[in-house]
């Protein structure tokens, strides 16, 4: 990504975080973190990657966000209209990289436990 895209992505990330904090109906009271924003070279399209903590149904929450995408875009436009020419189309995705990290930690803990058992049995 170019510097221009990175700055624009940061601006979108900051303002979307504020929108999600102020409008709990979009995220159903779930703790949402915007992990990454990718912006197209023409700045007309943005992929928003969300980490959802303690979400009972991540797909349902994602569908809710997709249904409210126009409203969210309109609120974003009201916040950044003086800073940009184009308000990007927003598309939301679940970022499950954190879930993967937690899974791998559990795998490593299990491996360590098995190694300790083997070492105890050898002695």
> What would the 3-class secondary structure string for 28-71 be?
CCCEEEEEEEEECCCCCEEEEEEEEECCCCHHHHHHHHHHCHHH
Domain-embedded: residue 106: no
Domain-embedded: residue 65: yes
pLDDT tens, position by position, 41-100? 999 999 999 888 777 788 888 888 889 999 999 999 999 988 888 899 999 998 877 667
Q: What is the CATH number of the domain that holds 16?
A: 3.30.300.20
Q: Decide: 30 and 51 in contact? Cβ < 8 Å.
A: no
Domain-embedded: residue 47: yes
Domain-embedded: residue 22: yes
Provide the domain limits for residue 7. 3-96
Domain-embedded: residue 49: yes
pTM confidence score: 0.75
Instruction: Point out which residues pair with 34 in neighbouring strands.
Output: 50
The structural domain count of the chain equals 1
Domain-embedded: residue 104: no
Higher per-residue confidence, 117 vs 97: 117
Confidence label for 110 from pLDDT (cuts 50, 70 and 90): confident
Using the predicted structure, report yes or no on whether residue 15 has a pLDDT greater than 80.
yes
Domain-embedded: residue 57: yes
Domain-embedded: residue 119: no
Backbone dihedral angles phi then psi of residue 29, each to the nearest 5 degrees? 75, 5
């Amino acid at each position: 990504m170019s510097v221009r895209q990175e700055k624009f992505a940061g601006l979108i990330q900051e303002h979307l975080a504020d929108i999600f904090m102020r409008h709990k109906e979009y995220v159903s009271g779930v703790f949402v973190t915007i992990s990454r924003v990718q912006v197209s070279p023409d700045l007309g399209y943005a992929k928003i990657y969300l980490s959802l903590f303690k979400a009972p149904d991540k797909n349902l929450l994602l569908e809710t966000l997709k249904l409210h995408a126009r409203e969210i875009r309109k609120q974003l436009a009201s916040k950044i209209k003086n800073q940009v020419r184009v308000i990007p189309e927003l598309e939301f995705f679940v970022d499950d990289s954190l879930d993967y990290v937690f899974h791998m930690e559990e795998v490593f803990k299990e491996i360590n436990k098995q190694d300790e058992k083997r070492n105890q049995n050898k002695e």
